[in-house]
Amino acid sequence: MAPNARPEHPPPAVVLRGLAKRFPGVAAVSDVDLEIQPGAVHVFAGENGAGKSTLMKLIAQIEPPSAGRIEVDGAAVHYQGPGQARRLGIAMVHQEFALAPDLSVAENLSIGQEPGRFGWISRGAERRAADALLRTVGLDVHPGQRVGRLSTAEQQRVELAKALAVDAGVLILDEPTASLTEQQARELFAIIRTLTARGIAVLYISHRLDEIFEIGDTVTVMRDGSVVATKPVADLDENRLVGLMVGRDVANLYPRTFREPGAVRLSVRGLSRGTAVRDASFDVRAGEVVGLAGLVGAGRTELARAVFGAEPPHAGTVTLDGTELRIRGPADAIAAGIGYLTESRKTDGLALQLGLDKNVTLARLPMRAGLIDLGAERRTAERERDRLRIRVPRVGRPVQLLSGGNQQKVVLARWLETGADVLFFDEPGRGMDVGAKSEMFQQVDALAADGRAIVLISSYLPELLNMCDRILVMRAGRIVGEVARADFSEERIVALATGAKDGHE
């Protein structure tokens, strides 16, 4: 074999044998045996709480194992912390970026390994090293640019470059596309393929089934801390993968029963707010789910927030059940019977440090003699916890400790308690595992069956195509087209969203 040739069957990059992690009262990872191959994307799938992130933290030495061993490049690894993992060539990019926003790109890339001599940092060498790393991840920004001024997608590439700065042979990506547009995700996939071509092993956590099949070579499915299957992605289809993840057959992730819609409930005419929303007009009927599609920045969220009064419109009318509303703020919308499940549940939708009980009743407080009725508040929260199957041991538990899917259920419970007749769901499936997502869409279907008017905003077209009666497409703040269910196709919607002709441009 030539000196630089790669062996036909190279040894595993990482080997796990009997790996386990126990916390008080819970086995987060149980007896995992696994081999991670170099030059491939190894996807880890499973519901929230399945143990995926904990397993990654064990590999990255963020957490010490309770039992078992890890081998890297054939040598046993003893826990010494994340610094040791980086020295071994293991890097992890978390969903929440670990960047210093007030430092430059170059400074972020060299933290802990600044070039220089005698205690002096060579800024020139630092910038040259940063330039080389940025080219590797396809990021065209000046190394002196402050990281806090970069977009989310640009910051993610800085994180990737930072990982490669340690000459990583193993790269762990935790939900890397959660905040990216489809185009940005495709650009990330191209970078990942470049890295695997160099022999880097990529460990990839994702809830999105489409990208698992697009980017993955092998998938390991975890459930309740254990590995239930490791298979080539090519040997699976969506239904079989979902069945492995949830432990039961899931015939349909999008359980919608289509019915003849009733009378118009919500009517919007000529709604405008600066350049974000321009002359938008649409109707939503009783029992109907209407989708809002479009690229990021098209105005979908801004339209929902204008109707809800979070960003009151400058012109136009909103009519509910034949009565024109005067909405000056969210309180007016709530009183009229309009609810909005925000896209950013952690920043706009929840009081994270408060319990489930306080969050569920936030929009409509149970009062008695001018005071909050704490007993009624607790009973309300317990009723919604049981109805929506929110996994929480007690209703006073802070919602910041709940999984993304359970947090989204808390937001939904709040609007169910208001009895809202019109509900806007803004990216309801984002950051949720397949089981929680299926439960969420069951609730959407039940609300439509009850005669509510539903507007569903999603950047993931399969959600719209499977759940909606009609889809409105927005571009540059305007509604530029409507697609009836009989005419649904991804190509048609993308063509409208991008301004292409007949879907060919």
Split at pLDDT 50, 70, 90, the class of 122 is low
Split at pLDDT 50, 70, 90, the class of 505 is very low
Same domain flag for 283 and 153: no
| 184 falls within a domain | yes
pLDDT value, residue 2: 47
User: Residue 146 above 60 pLDDT?
Assistant: yes
Same domain flag for 287 and 193: no
502 versus 490: the higher-pLDDT residue is 490
pLDDT tens sequence across 350-396: 766 777 787 777 767 666 777 777 777 777 777 877 777 777 777 77
pLDDT value, residue 470: 96
pLDDT value, residue 397: 78
Length of the chain in terms of residues written? 505
403: closest CA among 446, 357, 356? 356
User: Residue 113 above 80 pLDDT?
Assistant: no
DSSP H/E element including 385? helix 374-388
Token pair belonging to 388: 């929506």
Least confident of 6-20, 262-276, 491-505: 491-505
Same domain flag for 207 and 325: no
Q: What is the 3-state secondary structure (H, E, C) of 409-430?
A: HHHHHHHHHHCCCEEEEECCCC
Q: How many whole angstroms separate alpha carbon 503 and alpha carbon 505?
A: 6
Query: Other CB atoms closer than 10 Å to residue 424's CB: what's the count?
Result: 29
Mean pLDDT of 421-435: 83
Residues facing residue 133 across a β-bridge: none
| 211 falls within a domain | yes
Q: What is the 3-state secondary structure (H, E, C) of 431-486?
A: CCCHHHHHHHHHHHHHHHHCCCEEEEECCCHHHHHHHCCEEEEEECCEEEEEEEHH
Q: How far is CA 178 from CA 174, 175, 182, 432, 469, in A?
A: 9, 6, 10, 10, 26
Same domain flag for 482 and 334: yes
Please identify which residue in the block is written with the tokens 């999603």: 458
Q: How far is CA 177 from CA 8, 29, 426, 505, in A?
A: 32, 25, 17, 25
DSSP H/E element including 316? strand 315-320
Same domain flag for 192 and 274: no
Helix axes 434-449, 404-418, angle to 10 degrees: 10
Mean pLDDT of 275-286: 96
pLDDT value, residue 279: 96
Split at pLDDT 50, 70, 90, the class of 1 is very low
pLDDT tens sequence across 461-486: 888 999 999 999 999 999 999 999 99
Q: Tell which of 246, 278, 296 closes a domain.
A: 246
List Cβ neighbours of 379 (8 Å cut-off, separation of 6 or more).
none
| 168 falls within a domain | yes
Q: How far is CA 190 from CA 135, 136, 187, 195, 462, in A?
A: 13, 11, 5, 9, 22
Please identify which residue in the block is written with the tokens 């950047």: 459
Instruction: State which of 93-107, 207-221, 279-293, 423-437 shows the largest mean pLDDT.
Output: 279-293
Q: How many whole angstroms separate alpha carbon 447 and alpha carbon 423?
A: 9
Same domain flag for 394 and 310: yes
| 402 falls within a domain | yes
* Residue 345 near residue 427, CB atoms below 8 Å: no
Query: Over the chain, what is the mean pLDDT?
Result: 84
User: Residue 344 above 70 pLDDT?
Assistant: no
Q: Rounded to an integer, what is the distance from CA 361 to the centroid of its chain?
A: 26
User: Residue 503 above 80 pLDDT?
Assistant: no
The DSSP symbol for 387 reads: H
Split at pLDDT 50, 70, 90, the class of 184 is confident
| 372 falls within a domain | yes
Q: Radius of gyration (Cα) for the chain, nearest Å?
A: 25
Query: Number of folded domains in the chain?
Result: 2
Same domain flag for 241 and 353: no
Same domain flag for 213 and 288: no
The dihedral of CA 494, 498, 503, 505: what is its sign?
negative
List Cβ neighbours of 494 (8 Å cut-off, separation of 6 or more).
461, 500, 503
Split at pLDDT 50, 70, 90, the class of 204 is very high
User: Residue 304 above 80 pLDDT?
Assistant: yes
* Residue 28 near residue 48, CB atoms below 8 Å: no
User: Residue 112 above 80 pLDDT?
Assistant: no
User: Residue 3 above 70 pLDDT?
Assistant: no
Same domain flag for 233 and 347: no
Q: How many whole angstroms separate alpha carbon 90 and alpha carbon 323?
A: 61
| 259 falls within a domain | no
Same domain flag for 208 and 298: no
Split at pLDDT 50, 70, 90, the class of 262 is very high
pLDDT value, residue 370: 77
pLDDT tens sequence across 43-78: 999 877 788 889 999 999 999 999 999 999 888 988
Split at pLDDT 50, 70, 90, the class of 226 is very high
CATH of the domain at 460: 3.40.50.300
Split at pLDDT 50, 70, 90, the class of 347 is low
- pLDDT over 90, % of the chain: 38
| 257 falls within a domain | no
* Residue 270 near residue 247, CB atoms below 8 Å: no
Same domain flag for 201 and 279: no
Sequential DSSP letters for 5-68: PPPSSPPPSEEEEEEEEEETTEEEEEEEEEEE-TTSEEEEE--TTSSHHHHHHHHTTSS--SEE
Mean pLDDT of 136-154: 82
Residues facing residue 195 across a β-bridge: none
Q: Range of 133's domain?
A: 14-246
Token pair belonging to 235: 């040997």
User: Residue 147 above 90 pLDDT?
Assistant: no
The DSSP symbol for 267 reads: E
**Amino acid at residue number 269:** R
Least confident of 91-95, 351-355, 425-429: 351-355
217 versus 379: the higher-pLDDT residue is 217
Q: How many whole angstroms separate alpha carbon 348 and alpha carbon 476?
A: 24
CA dihedral 37, 39, 43, 49 (to 10 degrees): 60
Mean pLDDT of 403-425: 82
User: Residue 409 above 50 pLDDT?
Assistant: yes
**Amino acid at residue number 475:** R
Token pair belonging to 17: 């044998």
| 9 falls within a domain | no
Q: Rounded to an integer, what is the distance from CA 244 to the centroid of its chain?
A: 21
Same domain flag for 96 and 173: yes
pLDDT value, residue 352: 67
